Amino acid sequence: MGKHHVPGGLPSKIQHYIGGELVDSLSGKTFDVLDPVSNQTYVTAAAGQAEDVDRAVAAARRAFTEGPWPGLLPRARARVLNKIADAVQAQDRRLAELETFDTGLPITQALGQAQRAAENFRFFADLIVAQADDTYRVPGRQVNYVHRKPIGVAGLITPWNTPFMLESWKLAPALASGCTVVLKPAEFTPLSASLWAGIFRDAGLPDGVFNLVNGFGEEAGDALVKHPDVPLISFTGETTTGQLIYRNCAASLKGMSMELGGKSPAVVFADADLDAAIDSTLFGVFSLNGERCTAGSRILVERAIYDEFCQRYADRARHIVVGDPHDPATEVGALVHPEHYEKVMSYVELGKTEGTLLAGGGRPSGLDTGNYVAPTVFADVPPTARIFQEEIFGPVVAITPFDSDAEALSLANNVKYGLAAYIWTSDLTRAHTFAQSVEAGMVWLNSHNVRDLRTPFGGVKASGLGHEGGYRSIDFYTDQQAIHVSLGEVHTARFGAAGKGQS
Give the tens place of pLDDT for each residue, 33-49.
999 999 999 999 999 99
Residue 191: partners with Cβ closer than 8 Å, 6 or more residues away = 10, 11, 14, 33, 43, 98, 99, 101, 102
Q: Are residues 271 and 239 in the same domain?
A: no
| Mean pLDDT to the nearest integer, 259-283 | 98
What is the percent of the chain where pLDDT is above 70? 99
Q: Are residues 389 and 282 in the same domain?
A: yes
Q: What is the pLDDT of residue 89?
A: 98
Q: Are residues 173 and 216 in the same domain?
A: yes
Q: Are residues 91 and 232 in the same domain?
A: yes
Q: What is the pLDDT of residue 1?
A: 47
Domain membership of residue 367 (yes or no) is yes
Q: Are residues 138 and 206 in the same domain?
A: yes
For the cut 80, the answer to whether the pLDDT of residue 174 exceeds it is yes
Tell me the backbone φ, ψ of residue 424, rounded to 5 degrees. -120, 110
Give the tens place of pLDDT for each residue, 178-225.
999 999 999 999 999 999 999 999 999 999 999 999 999 999 999 999
> Exactly one of 259, 391, 439, 468 is catalytic; which is it?
259
Query: Domains in the chain: how many in total?
Result: 2
For the cut 50, the answer to whether the pLDDT of residue 124 exceeds it is yes
Q: Please give the DSSP secondary-structure letter assigned to residue 252.
A: T
Residue 111 domain boundaries: 13-260+463-483
Q: Are residues 190 and 247 in the same domain?
A: yes
Domain membership of residue 498 (yes or no) is no
- Predicted confidence band at 499 (pLDDT cuts at 50, 70, 90)? confident
The CATH number linked to 98 is: 3.40.605.10
Q: Are residues 381 and 428 in the same domain?
A: yes
- Residue 489 CA to its chain's centroid (Å): 51
Domain membership of residue 455 (yes or no) is no
390 included as an active-site residue: no
Tell me the backbone φ, ψ of residue 42, rounded to 5 degrees. -115, -15
Domain membership of residue 156 (yes or no) is yes
Tell me the backbone φ, ψ of residue 233, rounded to 5 degrees. -130, 125
The per-type count for the chain, helices as H runs and strands as E runs, is 15, 21
Q: At what angle do helices 196-203 and 74-90 cross, to 10 degrees?
A: 130
Q: What is the pLDDT of residue 263?
A: 98
Q: Are residues 338 and 222 in the same domain?
A: no
| Mean pLDDT to the nearest integer, 363-369 | 95
For the cut 90, the answer to whether the pLDDT of residue 237 exceeds it is yes
Per DSSP (E only), the strands in 241-369 are 255-259, 265-268, 298-302, 356-359
Q: Are residues 272 and 215 in the same domain?
A: no
Q: Are residues 189 and 286 in the same domain?
A: no
d(CA 69, CA 63): 7
Q: Which residue has the higher pLDDT, 4 or 351?
A: 351
Domain membership of residue 426 (yes or no) is yes
Give the tens place of pLDDT for each residue, 393-433.
999 999 999 999 999 999 999 999 999 999 999 999 999 99
Task: Give the CA distances from residue 43 to residues 33, 67, 151, 195, in Å, rounded to whole numbers and listed in that order.
Answer: 6, 34, 36, 15
Q: What is the pLDDT of residue 503?
A: 60
The CATH number linked to 294 is: 3.40.309.10
Domain membership of residue 458 (yes or no) is no
Q: Are residues 200 and 323 in the same domain?
A: no
Domain membership of residue 503 (yes or no) is no
Give the tens place of pLDDT for each residue, 63-87.
999 999 999 999 999 999 999 999 9
